[in-house]
Amino acid sequence: MRENHLMPTSLNLATVRRSDGKVVLTATGEIDLSNIDAFNEALSGATAEAGRNGGKFTVDLSAVEYLDSAAINALFARATHIDVIAHPLVMPVLTISGITELVTVEPAQPAAER
Amino acid sequence: MGDPDRDDPRSQLDELAAARDQMERLVRVIVEIGSDLDLDSTLHRIVNGAMELTDARYAALGMRAPDGTLASFVQTGIDGETARRLGDLPVGEGLRVDDLNAHPQAAALQAHDPPLRALLGIPITVRAADFGSLYLADDRPGRVFTDDHEAAVRALATAAAAAIDNARLFERERESSKWTKASREITTALLSGDPQTGPLQLIVNRALELADAEQAILLVPREPDLPSDEVDTLVVAATAGRYASEVIGRQVPMDGSTTGGVARRGLPLITDSFQYPIEGFTDVGERSAIVMPLIADDRVLGVIAVARQPQQPAFGNDYLELVSDFARHAAIALALAAGREHALNQELAQAHTVDDAVHAAAEELRRLWRARRVLAVTFPAHGSSGDTAYGEPRVVSVGEPANWADLPSQTRQMLSSFCDGDLLTPNSAEPGMAGIALQHPEGVLVVRIDLTERRPFTLEDQTLLTVLAGRLGQGLQRVHQVDQQRETALALQHAILGPADLPHGFAVRYEAASRPLQVGGDWYDVFDLDDGRIALIVGDCVGHGLAAATVMGQVRSACRALLFENPSPSAALAGMDRFAARLPGAQCTTAVCAVLNPDTGELVYSSAGHPPPVLVDADGTTRMLDDGHTIALGVRADWPRPEAHVTIPPRATLLLYTDGLVERRRRLLQQGISSAAALVQEGRDSTLEDLANRIMSGLAPSGGYQDDVVLLLYRHPAPLQLEFPADVSQLAPTRTALRRWLTRAKLDADQVMNVLVAAGEAVANAIEHGHRHSPGGRISLGATILVDQVRLTITDTGSWKTPQPATETNRGRGIALMRGLMQDVTINPDTAGTTVHLCARIT
């Protein structure tokens, strides 16, 4: 059982400051209860990074094909600091959760058109 | 009291002291005589007490016989003969004589040496009847009985009357309970059917013993089957006590005999003279005898005559009552034990299961007593060690519905106390009801009868109840044995028939034409193959009944073995051709053999002379799978067997069947198949189980199916069934499995995502709230596809704790998400765990 804890759902997180100075947190994989701590840490890191520069940053979820209420709760907690880019498949989930009313959520372009 | 003329203060004081002592003595003696309830010792204490109060040397207590003479005596200091002579003196209201020598009627008493002189006689009256007299006598010169003595003895006589009355009542009660107990013993003994002692013998033995008699005989009608009024002769059928060999078999005419008269009138009597001589009974001396009829159901079954020795006291009239109860009891037991066909027996004979039998018996008891309600409560015993722990009682109630939980606690307590009490002992705690406990194959059965009115449950009622309860106990045991044999037979039949537990996604119905058999010549089989595919077979051996079933069992096993060897339907049927050609009765067997890939819905099938499977798509499109078809099995050697392929689309329903489902006289087979296909099409949005029921009832002829019937349904994809530990590491693999299944069901990507998120929330909740504090719990997830909806059930073994205020918003968001994404969400928390149902319409 113990080693199962060491194998959460696969998720890669990277925070970069783009050349235009904008901070972007890019997530790849799936977000659920098993890796939510890592996602929260990354959000905190990005918030700190962006704080030195006007405070806003972008959470790029275009390569996240699954997220649950744990992830949405984390986004709500930073609603005033973030813009979100989301995979089209998770758009309905985000809409139903109401986050789209507080945060600008852009659907990502389908991969082929990017 | 003292002499008022005397004024010596000292003498007055002495007199006062003496009077006080006498009073104290009187009180003590009175208390003593009532100190126990045994009649004999009470009488002795009265005699001794009277002597003590009067300082007399001799005392006697004479008791009157029914004819008024003083028949028996208790005496002290004198012999019985002298006591009897005392008894000859008329006591009247009291008799005091200072010197008997001067008494004209006392001459006989002078025989005593030394001659009796002073006498005090006081009558004892019990319940206004002359019970007898108490005599005190002395032979010392100058000794006389004083006024004080007389007063004290009179007081004692009054107290003695009360003590005698109590002792007599007690004795009668004891005697009565002795007879009642004997009656029950007879009932029990008769029912246990001890072959050593016949019922008649048992009755005379007990009657002899209880009446403390010398001889008891039992006469029965010489021709037992004749109606009572046509019987002309009685015969001595059983005898106990003296002269047994002389009297047995003697015959007595009904007319002109005392025993015949008792049998005719049905009333007992006490006599010492018999009208008609019975050798070895009436000719052995003048004896008091009691003659009683054995009557049950207004029929005289016989007559018992019990005689005491000549020197024993005659039977008193109060004895009649006791003996009549006994006789009634014995008669009822006899009537039933004689094996007269009783409704209860018939009911029991018809019952297939113990539960049926209990129910039938309760109905029968209710009918017999015209009862308002009969409760039959089974207390199942835990384990076989015979300990007294019982499980949850099972209630059968006729007349009024009832279940254990709703019964008043008083009733439940009463039933439980019956259960803990003696078996086969009727209990009538209050008027209008009676209960009895008896052996049940699984524990103890308590039957309680509530009459429509609050009348007492008579001795007769109790006897009948005991008899019937005994019968019921034996009957239940018999039914239980038969039931077990039947279950064994059924288990064997089901083993022949096929798997009881089908893989998910299948529904099956089977009906055998030949009742009570539950198998016939038809069969089905569904089993997992080594490569992950599933084999489906439906077949039909020629004929039905046991012969066809035995052939079928072998054919089924052969087909299974062939498919394990080579999972190809055509190869399997080719092998079956060779097998069927060699197995008598297996030729011309028809079958459809198919192999299904549960992931893709690909189906390979081959038919040997069997009606075609039916495939109905989600949109209602109906196809007959009539390719891959050729002749029945075992008809031609090396006959080529074709194979056909079809892919079952998502949410389509497949029907396999035997001709019993669709074939009707004077109707084309094709019509029947079309009717079946139409029913599948109409019911394609039902669950498989519902659909199976609809088809079976929809196609059943008015008199039920006349041929063996198999119905096998499959819907693609088969339901998903996952079980996993309640741990976050399980989220991703669970999602992967569910995504694969949803894709197989051809849901579009958006809908797959909605279901995945909703199910993910339910699983996350189960992990977070159900098991956060109790690791090691498990979660199960089931998903079923219907033609237009997908249904999920997520069950955990924990309870969803009320969220902490800090996490309430977060958790609430998860549940809101579920509700937003699904058409229907229900959450059922339970002490054993929480179940979440999710339902989404497929667009």
The reply to whether residue B749 touches residue A5, judged by beta carbons under 8 angstroms, is: no
Q: Which residue, B796, B668, B781, is CA-closest to B726?
A: B796
Handedness of CA B401, B402, B408, B412 (dihedral sign): positive
Most confident listed range (A41-45, B32-36, B191-195, B701-705): A41-45
Residue B763 has pLDDT above 90, yes or no: yes
Q: Could you tell me if A32 lies within 8 Å of chain B, comparing CB atoms?
A: yes
Amino acid letter, residue B673: I
Can you tell me which residue has the tokens 């004290």? B152
Over residues B701-720, mean pLDDT: 91
Domains delineated in chain B: 9-171 (3.30.450.40), 193-337 (3.30.450.40), 354-474 (3.30.450.40), 498-715 (3.60.40.10), 720-841 (3.30.565.10)
Over residues B134-148, mean pLDDT: 89
**The complex's ipTM?**
0.89
DSSP secondary structure string for all residues of chain A: -HHHHT----EEEEEEE-TTS-EEEEEEEEE-TTTHHHHHHHHHHHHHHHHTTTS-EEEEEEEEEEE-HHHHHHHHHTTTTEEEEE-GGGHHHHHHHTGGGTS-EEEPPPGGG-
Over residues B752-765, mean pLDDT: 94
* pLDDT higher at B399 or B343: B399
CA distance B732 to B743: 16
Q: Could you tell me if A93 lies within 8 Å of chain B, comparing CB atoms?
A: yes
Residue B385 has pLDDT above 50, yes or no: no
* pLDDT higher at B130 or B198: B130
User: In this predicted structure, what is the pLDDT of residue B68?
Assistant: 74
Mean pLDDT across chain A, nearest whole number? 87
CA distance B187 to B327: 11
pLDDT one-digit tens code per residue, B502-557: 888 899 999 888 777 788 899 999 999 999 999 999 999 998 788 888 899 999 99
CA distance A38 to A67: 14
Q: Which residues of B362-394 are buried (b: 16+ CB within 10 A; e: fewer)?
A: bbbbbebbebebbbbbbbebeeeeeeeebeebb
User: In this predicted structure, what is the pLDDT of residue B197?
Assistant: 56
User: In this predicted structure, what is the pLDDT of residue B683?
Assistant: 94
User: In this predicted structure, what is the pLDDT of residue B2?
Assistant: 46
Partners of residue B757 in chain A, C-beta under 8 Å: 66-68, 93
Q: How close B737 gets to chain A, by Cα (Å)?
A: 14
* pLDDT higher at A89 or B225: A89
pLDDT one-digit tens code per residue, A5-19: 345 678 999 999 988
Helix (H, G, I), strand (E, B) or coil at B425: coil
pLDDT band at B341 (very low <50, low <70, confident <90, very high): very low
CA distance B795 to B771: 12
The answer to whether B167 and B39 have CB atoms below 8 angstroms apart is: yes
Residue B111 has pLDDT above 80, yes or no: no
The reply to whether residue A68 touches residue B725, judged by beta carbons under 8 angstroms, is: no
The reply to whether residue A66 touches residue B816, judged by beta carbons under 8 angstroms, is: no
- Taking phi over 0 as left and psi of -120 to 50 as alpha, with beta for the rest, B70 belongs to beta
3-state DSSP percent of chain B in helix, strand and coil, to 5:
40, 25, 35
* pLDDT higher at B228 or B613: B613
User: In this predicted structure, what is the pLDDT of residue B116?
Assistant: 83
Which H or E element spans position B376?
A: strand B373-380
Residue A83 has pLDDT above 80, yes or no: yes
The percent of residues above 70 in pLDDT, for chain A, comes to: 88
The reply to whether residue B764 touches residue A90, judged by beta carbons under 8 angstroms, is: no
User: In this predicted structure, what is the pLDDT of residue B455?
Assistant: 83
Respond yes or no on whether the N-terminal peptide bond of residue B567 is cis (omega within 30° of 0).
no
pLDDT band at A69 (very low <50, low <70, confident <90, very high): very high
pLDDT band at A25 (very low <50, low <70, confident <90, very high): very high
pLDDT band at B19 (very low <50, low <70, confident <90, very high): confident
Largest CA distance in chain B: 148
Residue A74 has pLDDT above 90, yes or no: yes
Nearest CA in chain A to B750: A89
CB atoms within 10 A of CB B585: 19
Q: How close B746 gets to chain A, by Cα (Å)?
A: 16
Q: Name the pTM for this structure.
A: 0.54
Mean pLDDT across chain B, nearest whole number? 85
Helix segments in B664-792, DSSP class H:
669-682, 688-699, 731-744, 749-765
Q: Could you tell me if A14 lies within 8 Å of chain B, comparing CB atoms?
A: no
The answer to whether B180 and B280 have CB atoms below 8 angstroms apart is: no
* pLDDT higher at A49 or A25: A25
CA distance B53 to B58: 12
Respond yes or no on whether the N-terminal peptide bond of residue B310 is cis (omega within 30° of 0).
no
pLDDT one-digit tens code per residue, B634-649: 999 899 999 999 999 9
Most confident listed range (B412-416, B603-607, B813-817): B603-607
pLDDT one-digit tens code per residue, B483-498: 788 778 778 888 888 7
Selecting from B750, B810, B811 the residue whose C-beta is nearest the C-beta of A92 gives B750
- Helices B147-192 and B39-54 pack at an angle, to 10 degrees, of 170
User: In this predicted structure, what is the pLDDT of residue A2?
Assistant: 32
pLDDT band at A113 (very low <50, low <70, confident <90, very high): very low
pLDDT one-digit tens code per residue, B243-276: 877 787 788 898 888 888 888 888 888 888 888 8
User: In this predicted structure, what is the pLDDT of residue A5?
Assistant: 39
CA distance A79 to B654: 52
- Taking phi over 0 as left and psi of -120 to 50 as alpha, with beta for the rest, B178 belongs to alpha
User: In this predicted structure, what is the pLDDT of residue B320?
Assistant: 80
pLDDT band at B200 (very low <50, low <70, confident <90, very high): confident
The percent of residues above 70 in pLDDT, for chain B, comes to: 92
* pLDDT higher at B823 or B186: B823
User: DSSP E strands: which ranges in B512-558?
Assistant: 522-528, 534-540
Domains delineated in chain A: 2-108 (3.30.750.24)
Residues of B with CB under 8 A from a CB of A: 725, 727-732, 735, 749-750, 753-754, 756-757, 760-761, 764, 767-768, 775, 809-811, 813-814, 816-817, 820-821
Residue A26 has pLDDT above 90, yes or no: yes
Nearest CA in chain B to A33: B728
Strand partners, B629: B607
Largest CA distance in chain A: 46
Selecting from B729, B754, B810 the residue whose C-beta is nearest the C-beta of A69 gives B810
Chains A, B: CB contacts within 8 A come to: 84
The reply to whether residue A66 touches residue B756, judged by beta carbons under 8 angstroms, is: yes
**What is the C-alpha end-to-end distance of chain A, expressed in Å?**
41
Handedness of CA A74, A8, A111, A24 (dihedral sign): positive
Amino acid letter, residue B145: F
pLDDT one-digit tens code per residue, B769-821: 765 556 678 899 999 998 889 999 999 876 555 555 555 566 678 889 999 99
- Taking phi over 0 as left and psi of -120 to 50 as alpha, with beta for the rest, B790 belongs to beta
Residue B340 has pLDDT above 70, yes or no: no
Which of A32, A35, A65 to mutate to probe the B interface, most B CBs <10 Å? A32
